[in-house]
Amino acid sequence: MSGRSVRWYGVRRGEATEFFRDLDRDFIGVFDSLRSGSVPETGGTRPGIDLRQAMIEYAKKRLREEFTEDQVLIRGYLLKKELDTALNSLVSRVSYIEEAEGKEYSSGDICSYLRALRPGSIDESVISGIRSLCDARETLLSDLEGKALKVAPNTLRLVGLEATLELLYRTGGLRRLASLPASRIQLVGAERALFRHLTSGSPPPKHGCIFKAPLISSLRAEDRGRAARVLACKIAIASRADLLGRDLGEEAIARFVADVKRAGFKSSRVRSGRHASRRVS
C-alpha cells in the first residue's frame, strides 16, 4: 500500500495511475462516492472526457444543491444587515449636523428620521440618496418576508421576521435549525455569554437571538427566562414542520403563542408571590 494515493480521478501507485472505472459514464456518482469517504472501483482506461470540465460540472451541481431557498434567504438577510450598518452610520453623521442647527434626533425608526430631513446644511441630492437607501431596505424587507413565508412559514408566524432570519443565519439554515434540541435553540446567539458562564462563573444566559421575537422582547428582563424556554420548544416544533413542508395552521400557532405568554405571566406571578411572602414575614 506504500506509494498509493487517492486522487479525484483515480488511484496513483508510484508513477502509474489507475482511473476510476465509471468516470466516463458517471463522474458525478464517482465524485459523490469520494465525498462520502468511499473509494470507487478502479481499472478503467484513461477517460475520454475532459477531467477539468467534469470537475466544473460537478461544482455547478454542488452549488445548485447547497444554494437552497433558505440559503438565498440568509444572503438577503446579510444584505439587510449591511444596509442597517450603513444607515446607522449615516444617522450618526447626519444627526451631528442637524444638532448643530438645533434639531435633535430621538432614538426610533432610523428611516423615519432620515426621510424627514429637509435641505439645509445637507444638500438635497445627498438627502435623496439617503432616502433611496431607505427605500431599498424597505423593498428588501418585503422580499425577505415573502421568501421566509415560503421557507419557514410556521417559524415566521411564531417569532416574526427578524428572529426567524437571525435563527436561520446563526444556525446555517433550516435543516440545521430543525435538527437542534430546544435547549440549543434557546441559546443560539448567546455562545459568548455561555462561554463566560462556563469559564468564569458569570450568570448563565437566559436566551440568545430569540430575544428578537416580540414574545420575548416585550417582557421584563426577569420574566424572559421561563418564556424563552417555552418558546424554544415551540420553535423546535415549528422549524421541523417547516422542513417537512407542513403547515401547522393558525390555531396551533395561536396555542404556541398563548403558552409562551402564559409562561411569562406565570414567571411574573411567582416573583410577585415571593415578594409578598417576604413582606408578610
C-alpha distances in angstroms, 139 versus 111, 112, 136, 144?
13, 15, 5, 9
pLDDT tens-place string over residues 199-217: 888 888 899 999 999 999 9
State the average pLDDT for the chain: 81
- Residue 28 confidence (pLDDT) above 80: no
HSE-up (13 A, CA, CB side) for residue 243: 15
Using CB atoms within 10 A of its CB, is residue 8 exposed (0-12), middle (13-18) or buried (19+)? middle
Amino acid at 173: G
Pick the more confident residue, 235 or 99: 235
**Distance separating alpha carbons of residues 175 and 178, to the nearest angstrom:** 5
- Proportion of the chain above pLDDT 90, given as a percent: 44
**Distance separating alpha carbons of residues 12 and 19, to the nearest angstrom:** 8
pLDDT tens-place string over residues 223-238: 899 999 999 999 999 9
Domains of the chain: 4-66 (no CATH), 68-151 (1.10.287), 152-281 (1.10.246.90)
Pick the more confident residue, 275 or 90: 90
- Residue 113 confidence (pLDDT) above 90: no
pTM: 0.71
Pick the more confident residue, 179 or 271: 179
